[in-house]
């Protein structure tokens, strides 16, 4: 068979696809999903962010209840076809409990790699098996129809299908990892759950994290609390607005997305939280853009704009 030569248009398309680096928020709330009129603007699902790179590389950060919405989207768009990775920050309920509701994992022919931090002596696979052992959920991992691989993630530099992904050990009960992807000259960091306050005087945690996040284009960070709430929540493993803004400023991030909000915060509260972030930015002379992460929004990480 004679192969048709590539046209200039084909080449431009191929190049544009190679540069593709998009992020979609499927769930941006923390701890518990919320419903009702206080959660219509920013959505009520818990942590799940999907990253699409190039034509066919797919990375999911966390399996909070937002994963159900992504699953429905995939079923409609691709008939459930999915070949990619799920990176779990840590195995707390709001980051893991929607995995059994991710329909593509039951579909033969799909390939899914589940990665996350082990805890004490338990491998990540063991932790997943535990939440689906028939006691807490009726279906076990044996029902997965896809080719599912499991792996333990640890702090450091990794590559998945040629994409650079670095992991950083966060301040949170248990072993919790934040992730940073660098691709096509752009970068995105997913940092939840993480406590920036309550750091020992000798600990250079915030400096090390700022270095890890240096010049990142998109910083998604746990902003669970208002500043006035934080003193009652010390050592719970989450951050307040001013702490996160200061970190983004220190790291010279380009865009900050406030993420993983306390389930008692309504959309109106989140708007107040954003206004407080702007105040802190003005005090610091910070120049980055700041947003509340909104469920359903897709961003072009390379171009730096929201895709309508
Ligand atoms: Zn959480
Ligand atoms: Zn947690």
Q: Give pLDDT tens digits for 225-256.
A: 999 999 999 999 999 999 999 999 999 999 99
> pLDDT tens digits, residue range 179-191?
999 999 999 999 9
**pLDDT classification of 3: cutoffs 50, 70, 90:** low
Closest ligand relative to 176 C-alpha? 2
Q: Which two three-digit tokens encode residue 186?
A: 């752009």
Q: Is residue 204 part of a domain?
A: yes
Instruction: Please state, in angstroms and rounded to a whole number, the distance separating the CA atoms of residues 242 and 223.
Output: 9
Separation of CA 29 and ligand 2 centre (Å): 12
The answer to whether residue 308 is domain-embedded is no
Distance 105 CA to ligand 1 centre (A): 23
- Dihedral (CA of 172, 41, 215, 117) sign: positive
Q: Distance, CA 46 to ligand 1 centroid (Å)?
A: 8
Q: For the domain that residue 181 is a member of, what is the CATH number? A: 3.60.15.10
What is the C-alpha separation between 83 and 100, in angstroms, rounded?
A: 17
The per-residue pLDDT for 10 is 73
Residue 25 located in a structural domain:
yes
Instruction: Give the sign of the dihedral formed by CA 28, CA 307, CA 70, CA 160.
Output: negative
Q: Which domain holds residue 52?
A: 10-303
Closest CA to 306 of 231, 13, 294, 79: 294
Ligand sitting nearest the alpha carbon of 97: 1
State mean pLDDT over 80-85. 97
Residue 48 φ then ψ, to 5°: -165, 120
- Count CB neighbours of 137 within 10 A: 13
In this prediction, residues 87-94 reach a mean pLDDT of 97
* Within a domain: 3: no
Q: Does 15 have pLDDT greater than 70?
A: no
Number of domains in the chain: 1
Q: What is the mean pLDDT of residues 143-152?
A: 97
| 4 pLDDT higher than 70 | no
Whether 2 is in a domain gets the answer: no
Q: Is 210 among the domain residues? A: yes
User: Which ligand lies nearest to the CA atom of residue 174 in the structure?
Assistant: 2
> Is there a domain that residue 172 lies in?
yes
Cα 21 from chain centroid (whole Å): 14
On the CB side of 90, CA atoms within 13 Å amount to: 22
Q: Is residue 241 part of a domain?
A: yes
Confidence category of residue 200, pLDDT binned at 50, 70, 90: confident
Query: Distance from the CA of 91 to the center of ligand 1, in angstroms?
Result: 9
């Amino acid at each position: 068979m004679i192969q048709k030569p590539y046209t200039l248009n084909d080449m431009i398309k191929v190049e544009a696809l190679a540069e593709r680096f998009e992020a979609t928020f499927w769930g941006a709330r923390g701890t518990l999903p919320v419903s009702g009129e206080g959660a219509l603007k920013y959505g009520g699902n818990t942590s799940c962010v999907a990253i699409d790179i190039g034509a066919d590389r797919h990375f999911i950060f966390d399996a909070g209840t937002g994963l159900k919405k992504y699953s429905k989207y995939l079923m409609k768009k691709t008939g459930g076809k999915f070949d990619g990775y799920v990176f779990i920050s840590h195995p707390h309920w709001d980051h893991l409990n929607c995995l059994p509701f991710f329909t593509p994992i039951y579909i033969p022919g799909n390939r899914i790699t589940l990665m996350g931090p082990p805890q004490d002596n338990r491998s990540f696979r063991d932790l997943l098996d535990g939440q689906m052992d028939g006691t807490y959920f009726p279906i076990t991992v044996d029902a997965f129809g896809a080719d599912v691989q499991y792996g333990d993630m640890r702090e450091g530099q990794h590559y998945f299908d040629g994409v650079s992904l670095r992991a950083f050990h966060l301040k949170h009960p248990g072993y919790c990892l934040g992730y940073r992807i660098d691709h096509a000259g752009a970068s995105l960091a997913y940092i939840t759950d993480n406590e920036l306050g309550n750091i020992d005087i000798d600990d250079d945690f915030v400096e090390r994290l700022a270095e890890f996040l240096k010049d990142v284009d998109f910083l998604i960070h746990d902003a669970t609390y208002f500043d006035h709430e934080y003193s009652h929540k010390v050592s719970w493993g989450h951050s307040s607005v001013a702490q996160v803004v200061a970190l983004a400023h220190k790291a010279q991030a380009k865009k900050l997305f406030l993420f993983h909000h306390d389930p008692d915060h309504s959309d109106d509260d989140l708007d107040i939280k954003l206004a407080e972030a702007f105040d802190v930015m003005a005090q610091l002379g910070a120049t980055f853009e700041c947003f509340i992460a909104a469920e359903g929004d897709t961003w072009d990480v390379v171009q730096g704009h929201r895709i309508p």
